[in-house]
C-alpha cells in the first residue's frame, strides 16, 4: 500500500507542477483573478455599506447565502456529534472516586448502593485525570471573564478591524473549554448546562435566517438588508451596516455553542460525567 501511495503521489505531483507552468507569476497586479468582480467590491463597498472592512462586508452582505449555509453546516456537525456519542451505555459498572479534603485520602465507591451526589467532606475526582492544582485553577478562573470580553469585542468590532462573527464565536467557546480543562467538566456543565448550549446553537441559525425572512416580509429580496431601513429609522446605507452586525451576532452564537457541544461530547465519551 505504501508503494502504491508513493507512485500515486509522485504522478499527481508531477502533473500539478506541469500545470503550474501556465500560471501568472506570484503577486502580479494584473492577473485574471483581480480583474472581474473584485474591483467592484473594493471600490463600492464603503459607499454602499459604510463598513471599512471589505472582507466582512463581502462575507455577510454580498455573499450572505454562503455564510448562512455554512452556519447550518456547523450546526449540523454539532448535531451529528451528539447523535454519535451521547448514548448512555448500561453495561459498564460505574465506580466513583472521592477524596477526603482534610486528609487527602482517596476512596473508591461502587454504584451498587445509593450515593448522594454531594458529600460534605469529600470532593469528587476523575478516574483517569490527575488531581487538580490550585495555581492552575485560580489563574484560569481569573482569565476566563477577560477572554469572554475579548470575544465580544471581536464580534462587535468586526466592521473596523480583522474579526467578525466566526473568530469571536470561537474565542467565546474557547473560554468555556478553558474552564472545563482547568477545573472539572462537571464545573463547566454547572455553569452552562447541556440544555442551554443545545438551544443556543439553532437560535444562532434562526437569527441569521430570520433576518433574511424579515427582509422578505418587508417587501425586498431575501437577505437584502436595505429593507431594515423602515424598522430602524435610518437611511439604507446604515441599515446594511446594522444588518451585517445582526447576522454576525447570530453566527457568533451558533459557532460558540457548537464548539462547546463538540468538546463536551468528545472529551467525556458521551456520558457527561468525567472529562479531560
Partner 1 sequence: MIWQLDIAILTLVVVAAIGAIAIKDLLGCAILFGAYSFMMCLLWSIMGAVDVAFTEASVGAGVSTVFFVAAVFRTTRRTKD
Partner 2 sequence: MSDLIPFIVDNYNYWIYITLLMIGLYAMIAKKNLVKKVVGMNIFQTAIILFYVSIGAKKGATIPIIQHGHGEGAHEITASVIEAAEYINPLPHVLMLTAIVVSVATLGVALALAIRIYNRYETLEEDEILAQIREK
Nearer to partner 1, 224 or 274 (CB): 274
Q: How far apart are CA 243 and CA 61, in angstroms?
A: 8
Neighbours of 73 (CB within 10 A): 9
Among the listed ranges 41-49, 116-124, 138-146, 259-267, the one in contact with partner 1 (CB under 8 A) is 259-267
Which of 41, 267, 271, 273 binds partner 1 (CB under 8 A)? It is 267
245 binds, options partner 2, partner 1, none, Cβ within 5 to 8 A by partner type: none
Q: How far apart are CA 102 and CA 179, in angstroms?
A: 25
Q: Which of 254, 164, 168, 246 is nearest to 213 (CA)?
A: 246
3-state secondary structure of 25: coil
Nearer to partner 1, 54 or 216 (CB): 54
Q: How far apart are CA 143 and CA 255, in angstroms?
A: 21
> Does the protein bind partner 1 through residue 27 (CB under 8 A)?
yes
Q: How far apart are CA 14 and CA 89, in angstroms?
A: 51
Length of the chain: 276
> Does the protein bind partner 1 through residue 156 (CB under 8 A)?
no
> Does the protein bind partner 1 through residue 163 (CB under 8 A)?
yes
Which of 46, 101, 196, 203 binds partner 2 (CB under 8 A)? It is 46
3-state secondary structure of 185: helix
- Residues 78 to 97 in contact with partner 2, rule: CB under 8 A: 78, 80-81, 84-85
Residues 6+ apart with CB under 8 A from 31: 24
> Does the protein bind partner 1 through residue 189 (CB under 8 A)?
no
Nearer to partner 1, 200 or 276 (CB): 276
The torsion angles phi and psi of 129, rounded to 5 degrees, stand at -105, 145
> Does the protein bind partner 2 through residue 41 (CB under 8 A)?
yes
Q: At its nearest, how many Å lie between partner 2 and the CB of residue 70?
A: 5
> Does the protein bind partner 2 through residue 127 (CB under 8 A)?
no
Chain position carrying cell 416580509: 217
Q: At its nearest, how many Å lie between partner 1 and the CB of residue 158?
A: 9
Nearer to partner 2, 31 or 94 (CB): 31
208 binds, options partner 1, partner 2, none, Cβ within 5 to 8 A by partner type: none
Angle 120-188-164 from CA coordinates, rounded to 5°: 160
Which of 75, 122, 166, 261 binds partner 1 (CB under 8 A)? It is 166
Chain position carrying cell 472516586: 97
> Does the protein bind partner 1 through residue 198 (CB under 8 A)?
no
The torsion angles phi and psi of 35, rounded to 5 degrees, stand at -105, -15
3-state secondary structure of 99: strand
Give the burial class of 85: count Cβ atoms within 10 A of its Cβ; 0-12 exposed, 13-18 middle, 19 or more buried.
Answer: middle
| Residue ranges in contact with partner 2 by CB under 8 A | 1-2, 4-6, 8-10, 12-13, 16-17, 20, 23, 25-29, 31, 33-34, 37-39, 41-43, 45-47, 50, 52-55, 58-59, 63, 66-67, 70, 73-74, 76-78, 80-81, 84-85, 160-162, 166, 255, 258, 262, 265-266, 269
Amino acid at each position: 500500500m505504501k508503494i502504491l501511495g508513493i507512485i500515486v503521489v509522485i504522478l499527481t505531483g508531477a502533473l500539478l507542477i506541469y500545470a503550474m507552468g501556465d500560471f501568472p507569476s506570484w503577486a502580479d497586479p494584473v492577473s485574471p483573478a483581480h480583474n472581474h468582480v473584485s474591483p467592484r467590491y473594493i471600490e463600492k463597498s464603503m459607499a454602499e455599506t459604510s463598513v471599512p472592512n471589505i472582507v466582512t462586508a463581502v462575507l455577510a452582505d454580498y455573499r450572505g447565502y454562503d455564510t448562512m449555509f455554512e452556519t447550518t453546516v456547523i450546526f449540523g456537525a454539532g448535531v451529528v456529534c451528539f447523535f454519535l456519542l451521547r448514548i448512555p451505555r448500561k453495561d459498564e459498572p460505574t465506580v466513583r472516586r472521592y477524596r477526603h479534603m482534610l486528609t487527602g485520602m482517596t476512596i473508591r465507591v461502587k454504584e451498587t448502593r445509593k450515593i448522594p451526589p454531594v458529600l460534605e467532606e469529600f470532593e469528587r475526582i476523575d478516574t483517569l485525570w490527575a488531581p487538580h492544582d490550585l495555581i492552575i485553577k485560580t489563574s484560569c478562573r481569573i482569565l476566563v471573564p477577560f477572554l469572554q470580553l475579548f470575544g465580544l469585542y471581536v464580534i462587535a468590532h468586526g466592521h473596523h478591524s480583522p474579526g467578525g462573527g466566526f473568530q469571536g464565536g470561537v474565542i467565546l467557546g474557547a473560554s468555556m473549554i478553558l474552564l472545563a480543562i482547568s477545573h472539572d467538566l462537571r464545573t463547566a456543565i454547572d455553569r452552562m448546562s447541556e440544555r442551554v448550549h443545545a438551544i443556543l446553537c439553532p437560535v444562532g441559525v434562526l437569527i441569521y435566517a430570520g433576518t433574511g425572512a424579515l427582509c422578505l416580509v418587508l417587501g425586498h429580496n431575501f437577505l437584502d438588508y436595505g429593507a431594515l431601513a423602515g424598522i430602524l429609522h435610518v437611511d439604507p446605507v446604515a441599515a446594511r451596516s446594522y444588518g451585517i452586525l445582526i447576522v454576525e451576532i447570530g453566527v457568533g452564537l451558533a459557532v460558540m455553542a457548537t464548539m462547546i457541544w463538540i468538546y463536551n461530547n468528545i472529551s467525556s465519551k458521551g456520558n457527561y460525567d468525567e472529562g479531560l
